[in-house]
Amino acid sequence: MTGIIDYGAGNLKSLCNTLEAIGADQKLIRQPDDLDGIKTIIFPGVGAFGDCARHLENQELINPLREWIQQDRPFLGICIGFQMLFEGSDESPGCSGLGVLPGQVVRFPDIPGMKVPHMGWNQVHLKDEDDHAWDGLGKSPYFYFVHSYFPQPVNESIIASTTPYGNSFVSSVRRGQLLATQFHPEKSQSAGFRLIRNFLQETSS
């Protein structure tokens, strides 16, 4: 059973449709008791860092999510679900994330001719294309992005991919059974379907 974090503002419909298409059982997670019987958590998202953090606090999900990740249980974070893994964000000063990965979420710099938010299809340059999560995707697959902020991990060994936009930024991280992406696999057609299927197959074994 795959649990989807529902903090009131995530892009749940596209993700639920993707999971249904690949035959994955799913359940929405709105409170700690909803985690019972869950094998894998997917934390999708759109919206502001601070709003997301406040919703998770109100739902009493902060500590359960930290414990889940610290125990290296299967977790896939998407967009804001990626950013929330870090300590804080320039988008919401003074607001803490889950803090399970050292680092800060920063805004794209102002560069002439570069639009912010970064929106649309872009290449993802993989650090380890032999990672099972990327099976069948090649060395530089395209995924769909929409964001103005991105994390800067302190520990560079967890960086799974980078993407060029002005300068190169971290577009995904990998640590044990944790995978998190700045792009939206649920909006990335066949490449996104394959990534999610790969991850669920890997973590179900």
Q: What CA–CA distance (Å, rounded) separates 174 from 11? A: 22
Cα dihedral 39→45→51→55 (10° resolution)? -30
Per the CB < 8 A criterion, the answer to whether 170 and 157 are in contact is no
Which residue is it, tokens 């999708």?
44
Q: What CA–CA distance (Å, rounded) separates 139 from 126? A: 6
Active site residue 79: yes
Active site residue 156: no
Active site residue 95: no
Q: What CA–CA distance (Å, rounded) separates 86 from 100? A: 6
DSSP result, 77-91:
EETHHHHTTSSEETT
- Which of 52, 55, 79, 118 is flagged as catalytic? 79
The count of other CB atoms within 10 Å of the CB of residue 193 is 16
What is the set of active-site residues?
79, 184, 186
